[in-house]
Amino acid sequence: MDYLVVYTSNTGNTEKVAMKIFDSIPGRSKDIQRLEELRDEEADTYFVGFWNDRGTCGSRVMEFLSGLHGKKVALFGTCGMGGSSEYFKQVENRVSVFVPEDNEYLGCFLCGGKMMLQVLDRYKQMQAINDSPQIRTMIAAYEEGMLHPDEQDFRDAEAFVEEALNK
């Protein structure tokens, strides 16, 4: 198989981006699977998706990436806390270290995403104790995340696939 899109998704955001990535890959020699349901399939190129877990990916994604050798690997994911390119770069740097050096790294696409309601509840509890500018910023980021992934994020994901495949 030429391409395999493998992803984890906690709230459905990364799954939506994974579907767009899959649809953007040309040809028919491709598949898409949740990491939790991955069968023993091999591909030349992997698009590996994750949800941001405190600035990085979860351990299951770390293990999967660490096991890839001699492949082309592109990363993608969603971040509930962020739209800043600096933050996205930090997340990419933390996750890309799990891609072994014998792979060809094709880059990373990240976009915002909705967070679980429990996160907002926690922020509101924190705000009730101490209403600081930092807490208000976190609540604003939560509210902004509720709008993502959006159509622009999907267009950007599609452009990322094209760029990655042209490397």
103 with 132, same domain?
no
Does residue 39 come out as left (phi exceeding 0), alpha (psi in the -120 to 50 range) or beta? beta
Per the structure, the count of domains in the chain is 2
Q: What is the pLDDT of residues 11-53, one digit of tens each?
A: 899 999 999 999 999 999 999 999 999 988 899 999 999 998 8
Q: Give the domain range for residue 128.
A: 115-147
Tell me the three state secondary structure of residue 49.
Answer: strand
State yes or no: cis peptide before 26, omega within 30 of 0. no
The β-bridge partners of 6 are: 33, 48
Whole-number pLDDT of residue 69: 97
104 with 38, same domain?
yes
The pair of three-digit structure tokens given for residue 43, joined into one six-digit string = 């591909």
Amino acid at 134: Q
Mean pLDDT of 117-135: 89
Residue 126: burial class (beta carbons within 10 Å; 0-12, 13-18, 19+):
middle
Here the CATH number for the domain that contains residue 61 is 3.40.50.360
33 with 94, same domain?
yes
69 with 85, same domain?
yes
The pair of three-digit structure tokens given for residue 138, joined into one six-digit string = 């976190």
Bigger pLDDT: 143 vs 2: 2
pTM value is 0.89
DSSP secondary structure code for residue 56 in this structure: S
The pair of three-digit structure tokens given for residue 147, joined into one six-digit string = 């709008």
63 with 138, same domain?
no
126 with 156, same domain?
no
Contacts by 88-93, CB closer than 8 A, 24 or more apart = 90/55, 91/52, 91/55, 91/56
- Sheet containing strand 104-112, edge to edge, reads 30-34, 3-7, 45-51, 72-79, 104-112
Whole-number pLDDT of residue 83: 64
Does residue 96 come out as left (phi exceeding 0), alpha (psi in the -120 to 50 range) or beta? alpha
Q: What is the pLDDT of residues 73-123, one digit of tens each?
A: 999 999 876 667 888 999 999 999 999 999 999 999 999 888 788 888 888
